């Protein structure tokens, strides 16, 4: 796996995004019934906002995931928690795999996303607010060091607010690597 990131082009990438966000596995993304024009409109709005930005994640040069980063103080989160200097918000949608799913792939994607975010100057904590019913992402978040803070009421959902500090992420990543090494030698 060789992950890179590029800025999302709302028009050029709309067909690809539409094929991802309208699939049942992406139900928590909230765009199941979106038209192609809806996708263009949403991602044009995000890219021009000045406080929310979408990146396309590539694996070996091929589109593999969508990552959004945003400033929590300019989002509905500002009304539900005390935003700290160094906080950044994140959303992640991994594309459906071509062929059979690969064990550990989503963990590898999330690790690459967190590494990307923590490389940014001044970022000390990543904030996520997935739908409270999305138990799969909660488990992945906790595996990578996110600490749940509780369910919050946002305009579009009930969300599990969670935080991951740089130290929590590094500790979780190191534990995953140690476990992977031990598993490889058994």
Do residues 95 and 64 touch, judged by C-beta distance below 8 A? yes
- pTM for this structure? 0.92
Residue 163 token pair:
């935080």
- In order along its 186 residues, the chain shows pLDDT tens digits of 789 999 999 999 999 999 999 999 999 999 999 999 999 999 999 999 999 999 999 999 999 999 999 999 999 999 999 999 999 999 999 998 777 778 889 999 999 999 999 999 999 999 999 999 999 999 999 999 999 999 999 999 999 999 999 999 999 999 988 887 666 543
* Angstrom distance (rounded) from CA 86 to CA 126: 8
Rounded Cα distance between 126 and 116, Å, is: 11
**Mind listing the domains of the chain with CATH numbers?**
3-185 (3.40.630.30)
Model pLDDT, residue 76: 95
């Amino acid at each position: 796996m060789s992950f890179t990131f590029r800025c999302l082009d709302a028009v050029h990438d709309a067909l690809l995004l539409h094929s991802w966000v309208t699939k049942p596995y992406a139900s928590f993304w909230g765009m199941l019934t979106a038209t192609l024009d809806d996708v263009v409109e949403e991602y044009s709005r995000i890219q021009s906002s000045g406080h929310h930005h979408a990146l396309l994640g590539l694996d070996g040069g091929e589109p593999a995931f969508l990552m959004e980063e945003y400033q929590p103080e300019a989002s509905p989160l500002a009304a539900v928690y005390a935003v700290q200097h160094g906080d950044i918000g994140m959303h992640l949608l991994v594309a459906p795999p071509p062929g059979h799913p690969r064990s550990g792939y989503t963990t590898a994607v999330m690790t690459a996303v967190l590494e990307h975010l923590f490389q940014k100057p001044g970022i000390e904590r990543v904030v996520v607010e997935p739908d409270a019913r999305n138990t799969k992402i909660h488990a992945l978040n906790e595996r990578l060091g996110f600490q749940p803070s509780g369910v919050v009421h946002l305009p579009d959902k009930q969300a599990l607010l969670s935080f991951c500090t740089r130290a929590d992420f590094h500790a979780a990543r190191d534990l995953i690597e140690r476990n992977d090494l031990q598993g490889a030698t058994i």
